[in-house]
């Protein structure tokens, strides 16, 4: 029993330090203009996701009835994320195809304009 208390306390302390560090990274990225580049924003996103993982893992230790409800919710959220991801990919692909078609049409128009004698 005492080993569970020690282990739980150690885990709580480590999670608190991790959460503090992640919050510091997020705040520094938001506040400092020098950190508004792709690499730092990626690190801030990873810090946010690390906080999400810390929030999602403890319910796995709940009793089976609560844990099964949590797992079902987690699966539903994962499906929603996949649908959003696919929608974004289709939107980006559609924009890329539209840009490519616009470029082809513009190139054809320029070629036709140069072919017509003045």
What are 71-107's pLDDT values in tens digits?
777 778 778 878 877 777 777 777 777 777 777 777 7
CA distance 22 to 45: 10
Q: Write down the pTM of the prediction.
A: 0.51
Q: CB neighbours of 44 closer than 8 A, spacing ≥ 6? A: 25, 26, 29, 30, 35
CA distance linking residue 38 with residue 2, whole number of Å: 46
pLDDT band at 34 (very low <50, low <70, confident <90, very high): very high
- Degrees to nearest 5, angle at CA 77 with 81 and 83: 30
What is the residue-averaged pLDDT of the chain?
78
């Amino acid at each position: 029993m005492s080993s569970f208390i020690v282990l739980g306390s150690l885990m709580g302390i480590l999670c608190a330090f991790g959460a503090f560090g992640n919050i510091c990274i997020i705040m520094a990225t938001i506040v400092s203009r020098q950190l508004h580049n792709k690499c730092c924003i990626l690190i801030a996103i990873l810090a946010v996701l690390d906080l999400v993982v810390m929030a999602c893992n403890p319910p796995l230790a709940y009793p089976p009835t609560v844990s099964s409800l949590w797992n079902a919710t987690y699966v539903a959220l994962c499906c929603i994320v996949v649908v959003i991801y696919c929608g974004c990919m289709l939107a980006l692909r559609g924009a890329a195809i539209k840009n490519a078609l616009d470029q082809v049409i513009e190139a054809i128009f320029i070629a036709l304009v140069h072919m017509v004698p003045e």
